[in-house]
Chain A
Amino acid sequence: MAFNGLKKAVTLTPSVRTLPSGVPAAPLLNLAARAPADPHAHGHGASGPRSDVTPKWVGGVSRTSSGLVSKSFVTLPSTTPFTARFIHTSVAVKSAPDVPDFSHYRANDTDSNRALSYFMVGSLGLVTASVAKSTVTEFLKTMSASADVLALAKVEVDLASIPEGKNVVIKWRGKPVFIRHRTQAEIDEAREFKWQSLRDPESDEQRVKKPEWLIMLGVCTHLGCVPIGESGDYGGWFCPCHGSHYDISGRARKGPAPLNLEIPEYDFNDAEGKVIIG
């Protein structure tokens, strides 16, 4: 019979060796011993045959046709599978499988390994941050104006060519821009006026950077007509479409216009005597 069981960590001491007959081998045990004389036995007599019955497999007396036959089986066929059980001396199986020795492969300086690991992590983070930053900035650049638009976005006007008390209308980003070289009388008029009561209250100081130069978008704030210069009730601009009047500072004084004329971004270039609108 194959011994298929797991090699467990059990080392049994041999109990009793089993004879081929299945009888436990007990050399010092005399199975044929008679029971000792027992005065308290109940009617079996002191020296009679033993009262227990020998098992059949050891033989015994049997009645046959030729008379009584007594048999004693010496070598009996095995009634149970014979398994010799010995004390074995194999090493007890360890609870964990044997782990190879990795000490040869282990780093002997873990500090530098740790620094290298963090360095690699940091480098990856650095590259990722750069990529993310350039991705975002490049994407935002696609929303900004292209170079040809930017080239048209600014207009330079030579202020020396505009005499005092004259208007100039130039085109800037598709819209007219009024440039008025105001006289001192006009400046005084614009500044002295009580602007607090206006529909869109704005002082003249808020509207101009240099008092003699009034620069504003020539688009009526009502419905977008182009007002006519040097006309209207206040000596400024007059919108012929719906009759809005603007004063010499471009403020809405009369008519349906809700706001003053818009002031664009502009800067003076004093060195060249120019104004840059945009």
Chain B
Amino acid sequence: MAFSTTLYNTFFRRNSVFVSTIFVGAFTFGIGFDTAVTSFYDKWNKGKQWKDIRHKYVEAAEE
């Protein structure tokens, strides 16, 4: 069976499956998107954020 037919029979044939797939997909997509954007942001701003430079100041204060 062709891939497209399998895809159709698995997800698209029943609307309940279709809609729930969309919602579950939206949920996972939201998590993945958040993670991706956050990691990109951290990479882009490497060395500028407080969590990157915290050790310089917190340790100095404790000593």
Contact = CB atoms under 8 A, between A and B. Distances in A.
Contacts, number: 50
B14 to A, nearest CB: 12
Given A111-B4, A118-B18, A122-B22, A133 B12 contact: no
B33 interface: yes
A115 B5 contact: yes
A115 B8 CA distance: 6
B2 A111 contact: yes
Interface in A122-176: 122, 125-127, 129-130, 133-134
Contacts of A127: 26, 29
A114 interface: yes
Contacts of A126: 22, 25-26, 29
Interface in A107-124: 109, 111-112, 114-116, 118-119, 122
Contacts of A129: 22-23, 26
A114 B2 CA distance: 12
A122 B29 contact: no
Contact of B12 (A109, A112, A122, A130): A122
Contacts of A115: 3-5, 7-8, 12
A133 to B, nearest CB: 6
Nearest to B7: A115
Interface in B10-59: 11-12, 18-19, 21-23, 25-27, 29-30, 33
29 contacts: A109-B2, A111-B2, A112-B2, A112-B4, A114-B12, A115-B4, A115-B8, A115-B12, A116-B4, A118-B8, A118-B12, A118-B18, A122-B12, A122-B21, A122-B22, A122-B25, A125-B19, A125-B22, A126-B26, A126-B29, A127-B29, A129-B22, A129-B26, A130-B26, A130-B29, A130-B30, A130-B33, A133-B30, A134-B30
Interface of B: 2-5, 7-8, 11-12, 18-19, 21-23, 25-27, 29-30, 33
Given A109-B4, A114-B8, A115-B3, 18 more contacts: A109-B2, A111-B2, A111-B5, A111-B8, A112-B2, A114-B4, A114-B12, A115-B7, A115-B12, A118-B11, A118-B12, A122-B12, A122-B21, A122-B22, A126-B22, A126-B25, A129-B22, A130-B33
